[in-house]
Copies of this chain bind each other. A is one copy, B any other.
Amino acid sequence: MESPLAALLWRSLRIYQVFGANTEPIPSDASVLARCREHASERARAGKGWLFMETAGGVHSPGPSGTTQADMYTPLRAPVVLIGDAKLGGISQTIASFEALRIRGYDVQSVMLFQDTTYQNYLYLADYFLQKYSIPVMSLQAPPERLQNEARDVEAMKEYYEQRTEENVVKTVLEHLDQSHTKRLARLDSMATKAHETIWYPFTQHEHLPAKDIMTIDSAHGDYFQTYNAQSPEDGGALRASFDGSASWWTQGLGHANPQLTMAAAYAAGRYGHVMFAGAIHEPAMALAETLLQGTGNSRLTRVFYSDNGSTGTEVAVKMGLRAARVRYGWGPHEKLGVLGLRGGYHGDTIGAMDCAEPCVYNENIEWYEGKGYWFDYPTILCKDGTWQVTAPAGLEEELGRPREYASLRHIFDVQGRERENQHRLYEEFIVGKLEALRAQGRKFGALIMEPIVLGAGGMAFVDPLFQRTLVQVIRRSPHLFTSEPGVRARTEASKQWSGLPILFDEVFTGLYRLGRFTPSTFLGVEPDVAVNAKLLTGGLVPLSTTMASEDVFDVFRSADKADALLHGHSYTAHPIGCQVGLESLAMMRKMEKRGAWDWAKRQGWVAAPPTPASRKTAAEDAEVWSVWPLDLVETLSRRAARVDGVWALGSVLAVHLRDEAGAGYSSTAALAVREALAKGEADGPNGPWNVHARVLGNVIYLMASQTTTREGVEKLSDLLVNSLQ
Query: Which of chain A's residues 321-370 have a Cβ closer than 8 Å to chain B?
Result: 322-323, 326, 333, 337, 348-353, 355, 361-368
Place the interface of chain A in its size category: 35 or more
Q: Which of A168-176, A377-385, A561-569, A635-643 contacts B (4 or more CB under 8 A)?
A: A561-569
Bound: A679/B619 CA distance, A: 46
- Decide yes or no whether A386 CB sits under 8 A from chain B: no
Query: Closest approach, in angstroms, between the C-beta of A351 and any C-beta of chain B?
Result: 3
Task: Fill in one digit per residue for A191-217: 1 if any B CB lies within 8 Å of its CB, else 0.
Answer: 110110111111111111100011111
Q: Which residues of B contact A293 (CB under 8 A)?
A: 198
Give the most central of A92, A217, A323: most B CB within 10 Å: A92
Bound: A333/B363 CA distance, A: 11
Q: Which residues of B contact A569 (CB under 8 A)?
A: 202-203, 349
- Decide yes or no whether A275 CB sits under 8 A from chain B: yes
Bound: A645/B251 CA distance, A: 51
Decide: A124 near B572, CB < 8 A? Known: A257-B272, A562-B208.
Answer: no
- Decide yes or no whether A540 CB sits under 8 A from chain B: yes
Decide: A206 near B558, CB < 8 A? Known: A103-B269, A290-B194.
Answer: yes
**CB pair A270 B103 closer than 8 Å:** yes
When the two chains form the complex, which single residue of B219, B353, B562 contacts A272, counting CB atoms closer than 8 Å?
B219
Bound: A276/B99 CA distance, A: 26
Bound: A23/B303 CA distance, A: 48
**CB pair A91 B103 closer than 8 Å:** no
Decide: A192 near B281, CB < 8 A? Known: A99-B263, A315-B350, A535-B571.
Answer: yes
**CB pair A281 B215 closer than 8 Å:** yes
When the two chains form the complex, which single residue of B217, B218, B249, B319 contacts A571, counting CB atoms closer than 8 Å?
B249
- Decide yes or no whether A554 CB sits under 8 A from chain B: yes
Q: Which residues of B contact A263 (CB under 8 A)?
A: 99, 102-103, 266
Task: Fill in one digit per residue for A544-562: 1 if any B CB lies within 8 Å of its CB, else 0.
Answer: 0001010000100111111
Decide: A364 near B333, CB < 8 A? Known: A203-B567, A271-B257.
Answer: yes
When the two chains form the complex, which single residue of B201, B225, B286, B540 contacts A278, counting CB atoms closer than 8 Å?
B201
- Decide yes or no whether A575 CB sits under 8 A from chain B: yes
**CB pair B283 A366 closer than 8 Å:** no
**CB pair A105 B267 closer than 8 Å:** yes
When the two chains form the complex, which single residue of B88, B97, B192, B269 contacts A24, counting CB atoms closer than 8 Å?
B88
Bound: A362/B266 CA distance, A: 37
Having A61-B91, A348-B570, one finds 14 other A-B pairs with CB under 8 Å, namely A22-B89, A59-B96, A68-B91, A68-B95, A187-B283, A194-B286, A195-B289, A203-B568, A205-B562, A207-B558, A308-B308, A309-B571, A319-B367, A351-B355
Q: Which residues of B contact A563 (CB under 8 A)?
A: 361-362, 365
Query: Closest approach, in angstroms, between the C-beta of A334 and any C-beta of chain B?
Result: 8
**CB pair B575 A278 closer than 8 Å:** no
Query: Which of chain A's residues 639-669 have a Cβ closer than 8 Å to chain B?
Result: 667
- Decide yes or no whether A273 CB sits under 8 A from chain B: yes
- Decide yes or no whether A132 CB sits under 8 A from chain B: yes
When the two chains form the complex, which single residue of B248, B261, B566 contacts A269, counting CB atoms closer than 8 Å?
B261
**CB pair B102 A96 closer than 8 Å:** no
Q: Which residues of B contact A43 (CB under 8 A)?
A: none
Query: Closest approach, in angstroms, between the C-beta of A64 and any C-beta of chain B?
Result: 13
**CB pair B276 A248 closer than 8 Å:** yes
Give the most central of A22, A259, A276, A364: most B CB within 10 Å: A276
Bound: A572/B572 CA distance, A: 15
**CB pair B367 A559 closer than 8 Å:** no
**CB pair B102 A99 closer than 8 Å:** no
- Decide yes or no whether A109 CB sits under 8 A from chain B: no
Q: Which residues of B contact A94 (CB under 8 A)?
A: 60
**CB pair A266 B315 closer than 8 Å:** no
- Interface majority SS on A: helix, strand, loop or mixed? mixed
- Decide yes or no whether A41 CB sits under 8 A from chain B: no
Chain A to chain B contacts (Cβ below 8 Å), 14 pairs? A59-B92, A60-B91, A99-B263, A102-B266, A195-B285, A198-B304, A200-B303, A208-B562, A215-B281, A256-B275, A262-B269, A326-B367, A348-B570, A542-B577
**CB pair A198 B302 closer than 8 Å:** yes
- Decide yes or no whether A25 CB sits under 8 A from chain B: yes
Q: Which residues of B contact A303 (CB under 8 A)?
A: 198-200
Bound: A132/B195 CA distance, A: 39
**CB pair A337 B367 closer than 8 Å:** yes
**CB pair A201 B571 closer than 8 Å:** no
- Decide yes or no whether A112 CB sits under 8 A from chain B: no
**CB pair B201 A277 closer than 8 Å:** yes
Bound: A214/B282 CA distance, A: 10
Nearest-CB residue, chain B, relative to A198:
B289
Q: Which residues of B contact A363 (CB under 8 A)?
A: 567
- Decide yes or no whether A691 CB sits under 8 A from chain B: no
- Decide yes or no whether A9 CB sits under 8 A from chain B: no
- Decide yes or no whether A470 CB sits under 8 A from chain B: no
Decide: A283 near B205, CB < 8 A? Known: A367-B326, A570-B309.
Answer: no
Q: Which residues of B contact A203 (CB under 8 A)?
A: 278, 565, 567-569
Query: Closest approach, in angstroms, between the C-beta of A666 and any C-beta of chain B?
Result: 8
Bound: A17/B285 CA distance, A: 26
Decide: A207 near B349, CB < 8 A? Known: A92-B57, A96-B58, A333-B365.
Answer: no
Q: Which residues of B contact A601 (CB under 8 A)?
A: none
- Decide yes or no whether A265 CB sits under 8 A from chain B: yes
Give the most central of A191, A256, A308, A323: most B CB within 10 Å: A308
When the two chains form the complex, which single residue of B202, B220, B281 contacts A570, counting CB atoms closer than 8 Å?
B202
**CB pair A368 B322 closer than 8 Å:** yes
- Decide yes or no whether A12 CB sits under 8 A from chain B: no
- Decide yes or no whether A627 CB sits under 8 A from chain B: no
Decide: A309 near B312, CB < 8 A? Known: A96-B97, A270-B105.
Answer: yes
Task: Fill in one digit per residue for A234-250: 1 if any B CB lies within 8 Å of its CB, else 0.
Answer: 00000000001010111
- Decide yes or no whether A680 CB sits under 8 A from chain B: no
**CB pair B270 A102 closer than 8 Å:** yes
Bound: A228/B361 CA distance, A: 54
- Decide yes or no whether A630 CB sits under 8 A from chain B: no
Query: Closest approach, in angstroms, between the C-beta of A259 and any C-beta of chain B?
Result: 7
Give the most central of A104, A278, A554, A557: most B CB within 10 Å: A278
Q: Which residues of B contact A573 (CB under 8 A)?
A: 202
Query: Closest approach, in angstroms, between the C-beta of A559 and any C-beta of chain B?
Result: 6
Q: Which residues of B contact A58 (CB under 8 A)?
A: 89, 91-93, 96
